[in-house]
Chain A
Amino acid sequence: MKSGAEEAFDLIVLGGGPAGISAALSAARHGVHTLLIDESPMPGGQVYRAVPGEFRINSPVRLGEDFKRGETLRRALAGSAVEVRLDLCVWNVAPGFLVQAAGPNGLFQGQSRAVIAATGAAERLYPFPGWTLPGVIGLAGATILLKSQQMLPGRRTLVCGVGPLLYAVASAILKEGAEVAAVVDAASFGEWVSCLTRMASRPDLTARGARWLWMLRRAGVPVLYRTKIIEARGTDAVTEAVVAPVNAQGQRQVGARTRSFAVDSVAVGHGLVPGTEASRLLKAKQVFRAERGGWTAEHDADGLTSIANFYVAGDGAGVAGAAAAEESGSLAGLAAARDLGRLDAQRHMTIATAIRRKRKRADRFGHAMAEMMRARPGLIDAATTDVVVCRCEDVTRTTLEATIAAGARTLNELKSWTRCGMGPCQGRFCSETAAELIAAKTGDRAGAGQLTARFPIRPVAIRQLVEGFDYEQEVPSPALVPM
């Protein structure tokens, strides 16, 4: 397997979003030889996505506050001692540490004394009939289209699910002159009001949210609280969406009237789940924390996990939003600097204490948003029996429930016995639902466990792995053993 010569670093940071950038800057500031790896062509992660370098920006202001913050972070990174490698998708992290990645320019292999995983959160999506139709996309996916590709998901979009992204996406669509058929929020208006006090720690973001709501109202877009999508209809692509009222758990209200909208796209998301691929692969101890989105590596206040010199930061350590991600990244970078001997304990304590205070403030808002994006498994009743839960392998709810009835109690059992989670996405879009189906039987969500982590974290081209392979050289002659 040919990669460039193995490179050595003090610290490798996985993920170039706000947490990863802050972690790298923080560590490099104290003399830690740091590498930042990201799979995108430019750093920024989800929330601070850049536009492609080939686009010419006429009006940065029109690209919004998130773009502005992203540019600030990108500039700071560019002006720092951090080495940055982009367009590189990490597919293995091994103890020691070894980090292996692949990209259009070939394979990368790096050794480092410490690793910070700042790989963010993934979208949670509960199935419903028609959710696999082309034109039905994730809310985070819609955000990427809008912000980074400067493209609308459709001319008339239904925006549905939970969380602040609903309003961000809906208002971004309206702003560009396209239609939002409706905003369909499983939360109640009362829930939003309840988190107002916690949102007060970020008056700027609260004001932005209020502007979004006002924009929707002025445009006459129906904002339907305590409502969810129950069907996407169409043949080759979505053309119609059906929604229905739900109760506080997200379950359909018996007898309540449904509403139908003609659409050419549906943007749906049911919250965020911390990404744990790297920490599971390294066998860091995991803990289930529903209020943080689910499983994360167990970690201390600075992100240090059960594995020495391995830290987690940002939403991957627990959903808490972009502002908190920056602070948590800084703390992880500082802790790494201390543990690598670049920062004495006293000085570390002084700097870290100040940042921990800032982080606590940021957490107030972030946790309020995480609360709005918590798992609402009642939403799963939209997945009627023949609905595909595992998109990759077309495994239906019926099959999963029958196998749970046959005795499957963990995700790994369910996966082995049904193939749910065996496809190319490796359980990213089905395991939340599968775990809730198990929990519906056992009453124990955490007991369903996690899917076993293996490399590759993401698919890798065989061509790249076998480049330079010489059969005669690398395959030992078989021994002529008596049969």
Chain B
Amino acid sequence: MFDFAIVGGGIIGSCTALFLARGGMRVALLERGGLCLEASGRNAGTLTLLYARGPLLPLVLGGKAMWEDAPSWLGAGVDHHRAPGIEVAFTEQEASLLDRDMTLRRDAGLPIEIMSGKRAREIEPGLSSKVILAAHSPEDGFAASNLVGGRIRTALIDAGATVRDGAAVVGIRVEDGCFVLDQSGTRVKARRILLAANIWVKEMLGWLGAHHLPIRARVAQMIVTERTARAINAVVRVVSQISLKQTNNGMFLIGSGAGFNWYDDPNEPGGDLKPENVAQKLGIAVHAVPALANTRIVRTWHGIEGYAHDNFPLIGPVPGVAGAYVMACLRSGWSIGPYGGKLMAEILLGKRAERDLFHPAFDVKRMLAVEVAA
């Protein structure tokens, strides 16, 4: 019998398991594949204040700080680099959106400056002259999210957690006041559970009585180039379109969540992964950083992101099921991961008030009344 079973070995589940184990709990982390190999290991590793929104903002700030000092909690670094963040607009429409959103963030106290394209190019000379408006966040950065999996697995085992990877959880039921999880034929029993499996929590919540919640999946497209001469130092975002950065050894990493279709079945998103979509993202990237035209792409891949109907995450208790919690479908989920996991663990250990993390906007109850389009 475990004190806690966590379903989903991405950054949220892994970090929560880590801090619970360090807090003395008997924890099992159940993951159908490998740790931090899905969205958590495929994203661009951007740590920025330019994207944070509303109640997620303090979580992003906390997570960002922890990534900046990964050795202190993970036991190893993940190639973290500080870099200015610059979001750019090319059209009037993009500029209006940028102006509105960044003004809100700046007024909320974030160190963000809105500036002309000319001024943005003084900060980042690699930017194209077509930028008409930009926002600058001087204290951004990025890290290599793919490196986390192996390191956190070691940290989990060192902390006494039980890692059960390589098998999917195919059923969860309540029995005699505890939870019985069916991990592909093996029974795992736990007093309490946390569902941290991104879009896949939709099915799991159904097993626990919260059926057909309005949760959808969407792909995010990633592209990486070969090494090329230093062209930018900043992490550049184009309003609503792509992010791009040049890593330490000169490869460009381009990411995009824009312009893709919604899916209900996250296991079959293949339709969007087309070269034309890649070409469009590259066109935008070259538009922003002209030097990119002089290099080659080496690899493309995708990750799957989960979205609730209102874009806010699911964080908190599973309605009507004592001892069951969920933390999934976060925006900026990777940035938030270590801090979110730490807060969740502290709440579950009884060391922190629920309100520090369980914001009303994240309450799963809000989703129960929502009509799901057929």
The answer to whether A and B touch in the complex, with CB atoms under 8 Å apart, is yes
Interface residues of A (CB under 8 A from B): 1, 92, 94, 100, 403, 406-410, 412-413, 416-419, 422-424, 426, 452, 454-456, 459-463, 465-466, 469, 471-472, 474-478, 480, 483
Decide if A474 touches B280 in the complex (CB within 8 Å).
yes
Decide if B241 touches A475 in the complex (CB within 8 Å).
yes
Question: Helix, strand, loop or mixed for chain A's interface?
Answer: loop
Decide if B225 touches A462 in the complex (CB within 8 Å).
yes
Please give 14 more A-B residue pairs, beta carbons under 8 A apart, in addition to A466-B293, A469-B280. Answer: A1-B275, A407-B35, A408-B150, A409-B34, A417-B149, A419-B146, A424-B226, A461-B296, A469-B282, A471-B284, A475-B284, A478-B94, A480-B97, A483-B100
Decide if B275 touches A407 in the complex (CB within 8 Å).
no
The 9 closest A-B pairs by CB, nearest first: A417-B150, A469-B283, A478-B240, A1-B279, A459-B296, A477-B93, A413-B34, A406-B154, A466-B283
Q: How far is the CA of A413 from the CA of B104 in the complex (A)?
A: 41
Interface centre among A1, A409, A456, A462 (most CB of B within 10 A): A462
User: With A417-B149, A456-B300 known to touch, is A465 a contact of B282 (CB < 8 Å)?
Assistant: yes
Interface centre among B41, B150, B225, B293 (most CB of A within 10 A): B150
Is residue B301 contacting chain A, with contact meaning CB distance below 8 A? Answer: yes
Is residue B193 contacting chain A, with contact meaning CB distance below 8 A? Answer: no
Q: How far is the CA of A100 from the CA of B276 in the complex (A)?
A: 11
Neighbouring A residues of B100 by C-beta, 8 Å: 480, 483
Neighbouring A residues of B259 by C-beta, 8 Å: 476
Chain A residue at smallest Cβ distance from B89 = A478
Decide if A466 touches B299 in the complex (CB within 8 Å).
no
Q: List CB contacts (< 8 Å) of B90-132 with chain A.
A: 90-91, 93-94, 96-97, 100-101, 104, 130
Is residue B166 contacting chain A, with contact meaning CB distance below 8 A? Answer: yes
Chain A residue at smallest Cβ distance from B41 = A416
B223-247 CB mask vs A (1 if < 8 Å, else 0) is: 0111100000000000111000000
Q: Contact residue range for chain B?
A: 35 or more
Chain B residue at smallest Cβ distance from A468 = B283
Q: How far is the CA of A403 from the CA of B285 in the complex (A)?
A: 34
Interface centre among A94, A416, A422, A459 (most CB of B within 10 A): A416
Neighbouring A residues of B146 by C-beta, 8 Å: 416-417, 419, 422
Neighbouring B residues of A416 by C-beta, 8 Å: 34, 36-37, 41, 146, 149
Interface residues of B (CB under 8 A from A): 34-37, 41, 53-54, 90-91, 93-94, 96-97, 100-101, 104, 130, 144, 146-147, 149-151, 153-154, 157, 163, 165-166, 224-227, 239-241, 258-259, 274-276, 278-280, 282-287, 292-301
Neighbouring B residues of A410 by C-beta, 8 Å: 34
Neighbouring A residues of B275 by C-beta, 8 Å: 1, 92, 100, 455, 465
Q: How far is the CA of A463 from the CA of B279 in the complex (A)?
A: 10
Decide if A462 touches B151 in the complex (CB within 8 Å).
no
Neighbouring B residues of A462 by C-beta, 8 Å: 225, 282, 285-286, 292-297
Decide if B301 touches A454 in the complex (CB within 8 Å).
yes
Chain B residue at smallest Cβ distance from A100 = B275
Q: How far is the CA of A477 from the CA of B92 in the complex (A)?
A: 9
Say which residue of B37, B163, B226 sits within 8 Å of A412 (CB atoms): B37
How many whole Å from A380's CB to the nearest CB in chain B? 21
Decide if A413 touches B299 in the complex (CB within 8 Å).
no
Neighbouring B residues of A413 by C-beta, 8 Å: 34, 37, 149-150
User: With A462-B296, A478-B94, A483-B104 known to touch, is A407 a contact of B153 (CB < 8 Å)?
Assistant: yes
How many whole Å from B262's CB to the nearest CB in chain A? 15
How many whole Å from B78's CB to the nearest CB in chain A? 11
- Complex A-B: 29 CB contacts under 8 Å: A1-B275, A94-B274, A407-B154, A407-B157, A409-B34, A413-B37, A417-B147, A417-B150, A418-B150, A422-B146, A422-B224, A426-B298, A454-B300, A456-B297, A459-B226, A459-B296, A463-B294, A465-B275, A465-B278, A465-B282, A469-B286, A469-B287, A471-B283, A475-B280, A475-B283, A478-B94, A478-B258, A480-B96, A483-B101
Neighbouring A residues of B104 by C-beta, 8 Å: 483
How many whole Å from A434's CB to the nearest CB in chain B? 13
User: With A413-B34, A413-B37, A466-B279 known to touch, is A406 a contact of B284 (CB < 8 Å)?
Assistant: no
Neighbouring B residues of A463 by C-beta, 8 Å: 293-294
Neighbouring B residues of A419 by C-beta, 8 Å: 144, 146-147
Q: How far is the CA of A100 from the CA of B274 in the complex (A)?
A: 11
Neighbouring A residues of B101 by C-beta, 8 Å: 483
Decide if B301 touches A466 in the complex (CB within 8 Å).
no
Neighbouring A residues of B144 by C-beta, 8 Å: 419
Chain A residue at smallest Cβ distance from B259 = A476
Neighbouring A residues of B54 by C-beta, 8 Å: 483
How many whole Å from B1's CB to the nearest CB in chain A? 24
Neighbouring B residues of A426 by C-beta, 8 Å: 298-299
Neighbouring A residues of B227 by C-beta, 8 Å: 424
User: With A416-B41, A456-B300, A460-B296 known to touch, is A466 a contact of B153 (CB < 8 Å)?
Assistant: no
User: With A410-B34, A455-B275 known to touch, is A466 a contact of B286 (CB < 8 Å)?
Assistant: yes
Chain A residue at smallest Cβ distance from B294 = A463
Say which residue of B93, B151, B278, B300 sits within 8 Å of A406 (CB atoms): B151
Decide if B166 touches A478 in the complex (CB within 8 Å).
no
Say which residue of B93, B274, B276, B299 sits within 8 Å of A454 (CB atoms): B299
Decide if B283 touches A408 in the complex (CB within 8 Å).
no
